[in-house]
Structure 1
Amino acid sequence: MEIFGLWYFAIIALFFLGYFLHRHHTIPTEIPFSPLFGNLKIGSNYLSHYDLPHLPPPNGEVDDINHFSGPNFDPTILSPSVKHFYEQTSSYSLNFRVFWHFPFRTGAFVASYLTSYIEQLNLPGKNGELHEMKSEFVTIPPSLDPRNGTRAWIRTNPSNETIFVAFYATHKKESTTYVNIAAPLPFSNLSTVLNIKNFESGLELNTLPSTSDGGIYLVTPIGSISLPLSQRFQVLPSTSFPSSNLPPETIIATHEMWVFGLKFLTISYIANKT
């Protein structure tokens, strides 16, 4: 129950912090947020609480990368390796390293105990070690989450401890299609809306809001707020790094996160085709 009280307080604190810091930034009402919230624990068995129909699982994070064609993204110049990774993600093994930036390292180490307990956003608190993750994709029916093309991506480590549970979907506004991700948290969810654009022979996903829907939002039963967080993914084929000596179909990705404009986390991924 102490953990419950801590998390409840954290949600309230984040809500009001986000409100006062971002009161000038209005959340676009057209953003379709996921209705899926968590209980005290999330975990890889999160979906066992729902009576899901038996549907074929999706093969990847998206069915067709061409779906994102728009003013800032031309899929015809995308590396075939990156395209294959996004459409056939389940056929890749994933390894990652985390790097917590100063002065967030001590807080990250402490927070890792909480994230391990709730079995969500469960990243290691120590820097530099290579970790492996396993992926499972599940098709989510519109009756559970009405967003477009929703699928669950459940990530665990070799000991079957949960690393991340998230629901991936898309939404379109005018001529731009966004990646729309929801990670259930206790009595809320953390929703990330990402812009997509070409980056060298790969792609970049970011939450830069400007005039777009991009951003990171805390969604609760009493409302949604924009948080003072931002993130960026850069995804490239290994051929962009000739000195890596990795197979040409291998994918290298970097995930960076900021709070109040200060970088606090970098995650490096290597995805090998199995």
Structure 2
Amino acid sequence: MKANLKSSLISPITIAGLLFFLGSTILTDQPYLLMLTAAQLIFVPIMLQLLLETKRYTVLIHWMAMLAVFLLFTVTSSTGQIILAFLYLLFTCYVAFRGAQRFFQRGFTNWAEISIDIGMMYLFIGGLWFFAYIAGIDTGFSLLITWLTAIHFHYSAFLLPVSLGLFGRLHDSALYRVIVSIILAGPMLVAIGITFSPILEVLSVLLYIFAIYSFIILAFRTRFASQLQGVLIRLSYCALGITILFSMLYAAGNAFGVWSISMDVMLTFHGFLNCVVFGLAGVIGWVLAPPATKHGEWNFPVSQLRGRLKDSGKPYAGLVDHLHEFVDTKALPKTIVDFYEQTNQYQLLASVKWAVWFKPFAFCYKLISSQVQQLNLPLTSKWTEMTFTLRAVDPLLDGRQRPRAWVRQVNNKTVFTAIYSQHESAARTYMNIALPLPGSSMIGILQLDVVGDSLILSSKGNGDAGIYLAVGRSLFKLPLCEYFLLQETSEGFLTAKHKMRIFGIPFLQIDYSIRPKKERTYS
């Protein structure tokens, strides 16, 4: 713990920030401005050192930004101030880039890390508002409101999501994920409310109140690395519980015309609590023992094929060689096992049903998919036969074991080209499916389970299961989920339901009727 405190507080970045801040307190004749300066010179740099590896060039970037903020208290020419504010804006742009870089290395997984990523990206918006304040740009608001918006995006949109993300490395639950969603959406909702509708501002603050008080409850139920860290972090969050009530009174005054609290009171009490208690106590608390990320690197094999599949080899009989490698097949009807091992002996009929809300997007994508010939689904729900071929793919080109391409067509137009393989992880065998796209590949890792006499394949699970986008060496988890339910309706006949969701919202269902071909062939 002492080592963490020493490395983060006694570092070239932190020492420079403290010295610049002390200099700023001497030079300014408007002490309230120091609330934002404290975030720029102390809180933001210290928190970034907990998240990013400190290298020589990062030290120089921090020094450039902190020197620019300090010199704003000494430089009087408007041109000089604009240049200095622009240098700080470049720093926030760099932080946002690193946040986006972190996000695109993982995608939509691990709510704690997403909270940190979005917080880093929000800082750039704070930089924009700070630049607008210094440059005197007409934002449609007074200079004071422009400055307050800048401070809002440094504290509520950067420090809070980052702190929430670090907390998420210690605690995870369904309630925590709801809180993250509200906190991350909050800065934009509040900004929209201030701009367009005082009523919306009140509603967004009410959501904030629910999230923050729920957060406080979770903090008191969570064990921290030390008693001191627990006291500081909980004190930091309790300060938010007080300041959010000030925000509620101020927003209600704007909405209903009853000024329950003045701007002077907001600056004095709301600003002090956010800066000194939430900011300072929270930063020191996390510096004492920064929790390590729980996100591990994915190490399952990924298809190296990109673009349209050109060559294929000998015919394959089934999607898998042996279904028992995935699940215990004793409870399954023989037809389900036979379908996966002797897929070529079956005929497929499909009915595609798009959700009403998604149909405009499906229509637009159809213009692309008809050219790409991938995920090229019909827009109609009419039952249609899907013809298909199943052939081997060169494992040296694909990079996975025993890959085979299942190419499905409707009216001689390719609908899907899915390259099937498998891999083992944590004593479970997953179905590893690649759908080549231009310059990339969509990867579906499906977990198989037997429920009763039905077979379920799902991208939702605790291990590798998920839907990913592979671009170069990066693997990005998409906010998609797919679910297959395969059942036998009568001897030799199967039905399958394929459901897909985006951000948890259903947008596609494909019903399949699977029947044996009239004349089976045997190899």
TM-score, normalised relative to structure 1 = 0.80
> In 1, are the aligned partners of 2:496 and 2:513 still within 8 Å (CA)?
yes
State the match for 1:80 in structure 2. 334
Read off the aligned partner of 1:164 and give its amino acid letter.
F
Instruction: Give a deviation string over 1:223-253, Cα, whole Å, max 9, x none.
Output: 11101111100001113xxxxxxxx211100
State the match for 1:263 in structure 2. 506
Among 435, 454, 468, the residue aligned to 1:202: 454
What is the alpha-carbon distance in structure 2 between the residues aligned to residue 269 and residue 143 of structure 1? Answer: 33
State the match for 2:516 in structure 1. 273
Structure 1 segments (4+ residues) deviating >3 Å = 15-28
> In 2, are the aligned partners of 1:27 and 1:226 still within 8 Å (CA)?
no
State the match for 1:184 in structure 2. 436
Read off the aligned partner of 2:481 and give its amino acid letter.
S
Among 310, 323, 337, the residue aligned to 1:47: 310
Shift of 1:169: 0.3
Cα distance 1:259–1:165, how it changes in 2: closer, same or farther (>3 A)? same
State the match for 2:362 in structure 1. 108
Cα distance 1:27–1:218, how it changes in 2: closer, same or farther (>3 A)? farther
State the match for 1:95 in structure 2. 349
Among 396, 413, 416, the residue aligned to 1:161: 413
State the match for 2:387 in structure 1. 134
Cα distance 1:216–1:18, how it changes in 2: closer, same or farther (>3 A)? farther
**How many residues align structurally?**
235
Q: CA RMSD in A?
A: 2.1
Q: The residue matched to 1:63 in structure 2 has which SS?
A: coil
State the match for 1:225 in structure 2. 476
State the match for 1:5 in structure 2. none
What is the alpha-carbon distance in structure 2 between the residues aligned to residue 228 and residue 78 of structure 1? Answer: 31
What is the alpha-carbon distance in structure 2 between the residues aligned to residue 140 and residue 177 of structure 1? Answer: 20
State the match for 1:124 in structure 2. 378
> In 1, are the aligned partners of 2:317 and 2:342 still within 8 Å (CA)?
yes
> In 2, are the aligned partners of 1:203 and 1:235 still within 8 Å (CA)?
yes
The structure with the largest helix share of the pair is: 2
Cα distance 1:230–1:27, how it changes in 2: closer, same or farther (>3 A)? farther
What is the alpha-carbon distance in structure 1 between the residues aligned to residue 355 and residue 464 of structure 2? Answer: 28
Among 36, 50, 58, the residue aligned to 2:316: 58
> In 2, are the aligned partners of 1:35 and 1:145 still within 8 Å (CA)?
yes
State the match for 2:485 in structure 1. 234
Q: The residue matched to 1:103 in structure 2 has which SS?
A: helix
Shift of 1:148: 2.1
> In 2, are the aligned partners of 1:208 and 1:214 still within 8 Å (CA)?
yes
What is the alpha-carbon distance in structure 2 between the residues aligned to residue 111 and residue 77 of structure 1? Answer: 40
Cα distance 1:87–1:21, how it changes in 2: closer, same or farther (>3 A)? closer
Read off the aligned partner of 1:134 and give its amino acid letter.
T
What is the alpha-carbon distance in structure 2 between the residues aligned to residue 88 and residue 132 of structure 1? Answer: 18
Q: The residue matched to 2:397 in structure 1 has which SS?
A: coil
Instruction: Give a deviation string over 1:106-128, Cα, whole Å, max 9, x none.
Output: 211221121111111100123x2
Instruction: Give a deviation string over 1:4-35, Cα, whole Å, max 9, x none.
Output: xxxxxxxxx9x967956436384642211100
What is the alpha-carbon distance in structure 1 between the residues aligned to residue 476 and residue 367 of structure 2? Answer: 26
Among 16, 30, 53, the residue aligned to 2:299: 30
> In 2, are the aligned partners of 1:95 and 1:133 still within 8 Å (CA)?
yes
Identity %: 33
State the match for 1:3 in structure 2. none
> In 2, are the aligned partners of 1:99 and 1:266 still within 8 Å (CA)?
yes
> In 1, are the aligned partners of 2:107 and 2:478 still within 8 Å (CA)?
no
Instruction: Give a deviation string over 1:150-185, Cα, whole Å, max 9, x none.
Output: 111111123x11111010000001310000000000
Cα distance 1:144–1:222, how it changes in 2: closer, same or farther (>3 A)? closer
> In 2, are the aligned partners of 1:28 and 1:213 still within 8 Å (CA)?
no
Which structure 2 residue ranges, 5 or more long, are not aligned? 1-99, 115-294, 518-523
What is the alpha-carbon distance in structure 1 between the residues aligned to residue 104 and residue 479 of structure 2? Answer: 9
Cα distance 1:148–1:135, how it changes in 2: closer, same or farther (>3 A)? same
Q: The residue matched to 2:369 in structure 1 has which SS?
A: helix
Shift of 1:141: 2.9
Q: The residue matched to 1:165 in structure 2 has which SS?
A: strand
TM-score, normalised relative to structure 2 = 0.43
Cα distance 1:175–1:97, how it changes in 2: closer, same or farther (>3 A)? same
Instruction: Give a deviation string over 1:79-137, Cα, whole Å, max 9, x none.
Output: 101011111111111110011113111211221121111111100123x2111111101
Read off the aligned partner of 2:302 and give its amino acid letter.
F
What is the alpha-carbon distance in structure 2 between the residues aligned to residue 28 and residue 150 of structure 1? Answer: 23
> In 1, are the aligned partners of 2:302 and 2:399 still within 8 Å (CA)?
no
Q: The residue matched to 2:360 in structure 1 has which SS?
A: helix
Q: The residue matched to 1:122 in structure 2 has which SS?
A: coil
Cα distance 1:17–1:223, how it changes in 2: closer, same or farther (>3 A)? closer
Which structure 1 residue ranges, 5 or more long, are not aligned? 1-12, 240-247
Read off the aligned partner of 1:230 and give its amino acid letter.
C
